[in-house]
Structure 1
Amino acid sequence: MLDDLKALVDLETHSYDKAALVQGLRGVRALAVERLGAPDEEVLRDGGQYGDVLELAYHGTAPGTVLMMSHYDTVWPIGTLAGWPFTVADGKVSGPGVFDMKSGLVQSIWALRGLRELGLPHPGVRFLFNGDEEIGSLFSRRHIEAAGADALACLVFEASQHGALKTARKGVGLFDVTVTGVEAHAGLDPTAGASAVHALAELVTEIAASGAPELGTTVNVGLISGGTGRNVAAGIATCGVDVRVTDFAEMARIDEVFASLRARDPRVTVAVTGNWNRPPMTPNPPSERLFKEAQATAAGLGWDLEETSVGGASDGNFVSALGRPVLDGMGAVGNGAHARHEHVLVEHIPERTALTIGLVSALA
């Protein structure tokens, strides 16, 4: 499994490099075929400027299908590997993308191999590999929703939270606020101008204040730009906003906040673009039942499995919003997603794979 992980990490797959993503997905397919044989069904969907989506289906010995989802793109630019090669030392695996989430991808493939070699009954398995998760799954979302609509269970192989499965995630909204003012010389004719930068500064305070941490809603203005010079009343200024919510009611409230944004100066206009990138992943009865099954499986393997809620979102949000059973965090145990200390603890790779084997067999 570590050899397979190295093979995937050595294929750098930055979300914004289509050529690298194509090569990386070929590596994923080759690995699946080498370990599992040719799929019974195969669909490759051209993502255009985004990473392609590959679906590989393998028949089972029992009715139904389990959807196993993994993204093969990473946040690391091409060339990162040269200064940070795949390394195994002191019980840890390090390298760009090992934790988020190529270890989970490898575990998912080996789980099906394990089911076969152990002769365990199991439903069919459909793998969905997408290459645009780190940038919002703009292309793959509709294919994820279609694949999850009738699945017995959706297992997302994102990394765990210190071993716990992620049964709740926040929804994510990505918005841009553009303010248009009136340009003028700041010294010669200061009253003729209506500064977009000044107006935006006032609005940023209002936007930030719309957060409600007690309700699980956070609002972060992470980007600001505008103006052309110190001595010019700015004509345009923009800010980029990240919003995280735990429920749909908060989505509606934040929508109202953005719709009501107005500048005090009537000469200044405000426009808001963007949308909700992912809905909240909230516990539903099918997912709760699925977690209890996973808990029982872990207990049979001799360890306690916990659940947790996290602020980050994943592709599991899409399927959960359909009311389908979803378990996220089926992947690696480690730390450091999107950071140079990204790593996976080797000792947990077999037990996480065994958890998937036991759970999928239980679904038969």
Structure 2
Amino acid sequence: MSAQARAQDTLAYFERRLDAYLTDLRELVEIESPTHHLPGIKKAALWLQTQFAGLGELRRFETEAGAVLRLFRRGSGPRVLLLAHYDTVHPVGSWKKLWREERGRIYGPGVYDMKAGLLFILWALRYLGDSGAEHPNLEVLLTPDEEVGSVTSRIFIEDAARGADYALVLEPPTGAGDLKVHRKGVGWYKLKVHGRAAHQGVEPEKGVNAIVEAARQLLRVVEAQDLEKGTTLGPNVARGGTASNVVADYAEVLVDLRAWTLEEAERVDRFMRALEPVHPEARLELEGGLNRPPMEPTPESLALFELARGVARDLGFDSKPGKVGGGSDGNFTANLGVPTLDGLGAMGADAHQLSEHVVTAELPRRMALLAELLTRLVRDA
């Protein structure tokens, strides 16, 4: 049987089971699981643990952010890590309807980012069991805190990555449907400025205005951007002062960092840590740093992309090597030298918005892409 014929058979498997998949998806979406909402996180983890039971060796690790689930399934050939998260950004109660189907789209909290993609893993494992297809040695890692930087989960991600030959990330593709090979690194800084309070009307000269000092520092920070290289620094949250008639003795600014390369991220980090006060009596403190290193393409990750692209073409669509400014857990695996391919999740749009949705008709093809890619990693890689 040709590769294209096999791919079409795989697609038919998922087309026939779309309704069953949607039943699973609705159940998971209707479990509201925003990060740090431990009751919802616990309920979602338990649901996932039940669904994945019997599909491999399942281990559960309790953390302060919730359960990390690791599943191992023995195969042959390379070792492949499948990454997904089950936390969302939507606060409990922010959606009037947790599930809505309309004009070929499904709306719900986290349906696009990334519960639909997470369930692609579940159904790929079911496909492998039903078909008896040869597949790699698999590890599935499901985490509860990706939306806040994977602070707790990072140690599990990096541990799993060190034993992997490839990493596949089930975040959504680009808006155009492209798989992702390049993501910006993401960092944050909190710049704290300490001044001295004084009465604004009686003796302002005795004060040191922390807000003024912060403003001077931010002019420096913005100048450290390199827009041609795609390096941005966003001072997007500022706080300070107590009353309009009191010289502000404290101010703080949160600064978002994005950079395509580790070299640029490290340049910015050195710059931020070298900031000095303009006013001789002001004092600066800096917290934070690079949270997710850039996911930079390598020859190996581009070869993995080309393999997936061949599968996509056999399924009737194409993909370009996509690049996006947001980070994912794939940034961690790529930074450890593991060939990483992201964007293998569901087609849709409007992540983190109340219009978040997936495109129903595209679900079988994207599920088939993952399942067929896993088999080809044994046959063709």
3-state SS, counterpart of residue 296 of structure 1 = helix
Partner of 2:46: 26
The one-letter amino acid paired with 1:158 is E
Match of 1:108 among 110, 116, 121: 121
3-state SS, counterpart of residue 249 of structure 1 = helix
- Post-superposition Cα deviations, 1:197-236, rounded to whole Å, max 9, x if no partner, equal 1111111222122211111101101110011111111111
Q: Distance in 1 between matches of 2:276 and 2:247?
A: 19
2:353 corresponds to 1:333:
no
Q: CA deviation at 1:341?
A: 1.2
Q: Distance in 1 between matches of 2:82 and 2:240?
A: 44
2:63 corresponds to 1:63:
no
Partner of 1:86: 99
Partner of 2:69: 54
The one-letter amino acid paired with 1:31 is Q
Q: Distance in 1 between matches of 2:227 and 2:35?
A: 31
3-state SS, counterpart of residue 196 of structure 2 = coil
Q: Distance in 2 between matches of 1:190 and 1:321?
A: 50
Q: Distance in 1 between matches of 2:273 and 2:118?
A: 41
TM-score for both structures, normalised by structure 1:
0.95
The one-letter amino acid paired with 2:168 is L
Q: Distance in 1 between matches of 2:99 and 2:52?
A: 21
Partner of 1:278: 292
The one-letter amino acid paired with 2:112 is F
Partner of 2:149: 136
CA contact (8 A) 1:84 1:96 kept: no
CA contact (8 A) 1:286 1:323 kept: no
- Post-superposition Cα deviations, 1:228-283, rounded to whole Å, max 9, x if no partner, equal 11111111100001000011111121112212222221010111110211000000
TM-score for both structures, normalised by structure 2:
0.91
- Post-superposition Cα deviations, 1:21-65, rounded to whole Å, max 9, x if no partner, equal 1111111112223xxx252x22222221x13211011222x2333
Partner of 2:4: none
The one-letter amino acid paired with 1:12 is E
- Post-superposition Cα deviations, 1:138-184, rounded to whole Å, max 9, x if no partner, equal 01111101111121321100011131101000001111000000111
Q: CA deviation at 1:300?
A: 1.9
Match of 2:60 among 19, 40, 44: 44
The one-letter amino acid paired with 2:219 is T
Partner of 1:317: 331
3-state SS, counterpart of residue 188 of structure 1 = coil
The one-letter amino acid paired with 2:59 is V
CA contact (8 A) 2:195 2:208 kept: yes
Runs of 4+ more than 6 Å apart: none
Q: Which runs of 5+ in 2 are unaligned?
A: 1-20
Q: Distance in 2 between matches of 1:181 and 1:67?
A: 50
Superposed CA RMSD in Å reads 1.2
Cα distance change of structure 1 residues 38 and 157 upon mapping to structure 2, 3 Å threshold: closer
Q: Which stretch of structure 1 is more off in the superposition, 134-143 or 109-118?
A: 109-118
Q: CA deviation at 1:311?
A: 0.1
Q: Distance in 2 between matches of 1:32 and 1:317?
A: 26
Partner of 2:11: none
2:34 corresponds to 1:14:
yes
Q: CA deviation at 1:130?
A: 0.3
Partner of 1:3: 23
Partner of 2:192: 178
Q: Distance in 1 between matches of 2:227 and 2:293?
A: 18
Partner of 1:213: 227
Q: Distance in 2 between matches of 1:250 and 1:90?
A: 44
Overall identity of the aligned pairs, in % = 38
Partner of 2:6: none
The one-letter amino acid paired with 2:73 is Y
Aligned 1:155-234 pairs, distance under 5 A? 155-162=168-175, 163-234=177-248
Match of 2:269 among 219, 234, 255: 255
CA contact (8 A) 2:192 2:253 kept: yes
